[in-house]
Amino acid sequence: MLTMNQIDEVKELQRQGYGPVEISRRLGINRKTVSTYMQKDSFNNELSERTERVSKLDRWKSEIDLWLDEDRRMRYKQRHTAQRVFARLTELHPDFDCSYSIVQRYLKTARKSRVATNGALELVWSAGEAQADFGEADVLENGEKKSRKYFVLSFPFSNAAYTQCFGGETAECVCQGLLDIFNRIGGVPLRIVFDNATGVGRRVRDQVLYSELFLRFKCHYGFSVTFCNPESGQEKGNVENKVGYIRRNLFVPM
C-alpha cells in the first residue's frame, strides 16, 4: 500500500502523460501497483457512521429527509424551513407529538451532514476575481409598480460590489452591466464566476456553451469565466449576500 505522498507522485506523473512502466522506473514502485493507483479516481476516506440515540422523531426522519432531498432541486427561498416541516408533519400525521425544537434541531443536523457529504470547501478568493448574479425587486416607474432585475458584480477579496438595473437578465443585459462597471472601476477582473442560470451561457456536462454576444464580449476584454457547479451556492456566496444587501438597502422602501 502506498503512502499519500507516493500516490500523489504517481498521479502527477500520470497527468504529465507518463505510462505505468516509466512511472514505475522513476519512483521505484512495482508496475502493477502503479497501474492500480493510476486507475483509481477516489481517495476520500469513508465517513464514519455516527451512533444516534433513539429520538421521538425517528419515525418521521425518513420523510423529512425526502423533503430535504427534494429541496435541493428547488430555489433556495422555496425550501422547507423548520417551521414548515413542523406544520406539514402536524397536518399529515394526527399522532405526531414532537416539539418544534426537536424538529428544528434535526433539520440543523441533517443540513450540516448534507454539506459535509458534498465535501464543500471554503473558497479563497484572490484580488481581481469577481462573482456575478442577478437579483429582482419591485420599483416605481412613472407612478407604476414594475418588477425589475438588477445585475450585481462583487469582488470577494475587497468585499466591494456594483450594481446596474435592467428589465431582464439576458446576455445583452450582462454585457451592458459589465461594461458600465468596468468603466466605473477603470479595469477588468481576471476571472468572473457566474451562476448557470444567467443568460451568458450554460454548462452541458463538461462543456460550457456561451451565447455568441457574450463570447465576443469576453474575448474582447480578455477575462476568464467559471460557472458554478449545480447546487453549489457556496461558490458564489459573496455576490448572493450582496444581492440581498442591495435589495434591503436600495429598494426598501420601494
CATH of the domain at 224: 3.30.420.10
Residue 62 lies in a domain: yes
Give the C-alpha separation, 193 to 55, whole Å.
Answer: 43
Are 28 and 91 in a shared domain?
Answer: no
pLDDT tens digits for 173-214? 999 999 999 999 999 998 898 876 567 876 666 667 788 888
Give the C-alpha separation, 45 to 69, whole Å.
Answer: 23
Residue 46 lies in a domain: no
For the chain, how many structural domains are there in total?
3
Are 111 and 16 in a shared domain?
Answer: no
Position 213 scores a pLDDT of 87
Strands in the chain per DSSP E = 129-141, 144-155, 160-166, 191-194, 201-204, 207-210, 224-227
pLDDT tens digits for 3-55? 767 887 888 788 788 888 999 999 999 999 999 888 876 664 444 444 446 67
Are 170 and 244 in a shared domain?
Answer: yes
Q: In this model, does residue 117 exceed pLDDT 60?
A: no
- Average pLDDT rounded to a whole number, residues 108-119: 68
Position 132 scores a pLDDT of 93
Q: Cell numbers at residue 204, please? A: 452541458
Position 221 scores a pLDDT of 85
Q: In this model, does residue 231 exceed pLDDT 60?
A: no
Are 80 and 153 in a shared domain?
Answer: no
Q: In this model, does residue 229 exceed pLDDT 70?
A: no
Are 136 and 245 in a shared domain?
Answer: yes
Of 69 and 74, the structure prediction assigns the larger pLDDT to 69
Residue 67 lies in a domain: yes
> Domain of 104?
58-118
Answer whether 169's CB lies under 8 Å from 132's CB.
Answer: no
pLDDT confidence band for 134 (50 / 70 / 90) = very high
- Average pLDDT rounded to a whole number, residues 212-241: 76
Are 87 and 109 in a shared domain?
Answer: yes
Are 70 and 174 in a shared domain?
Answer: no
Are 102 and 133 in a shared domain?
Answer: no
Residue 91 lies in a domain: yes
Are 228 and 201 in a shared domain?
Answer: yes
Residue 229 lies in a domain: yes
Are 242 and 133 in a shared domain?
Answer: yes
Residue 69 lies in a domain: yes
Position 46 scores a pLDDT of 46
Position 119 scores a pLDDT of 47
Residue 14 lies in a domain: yes
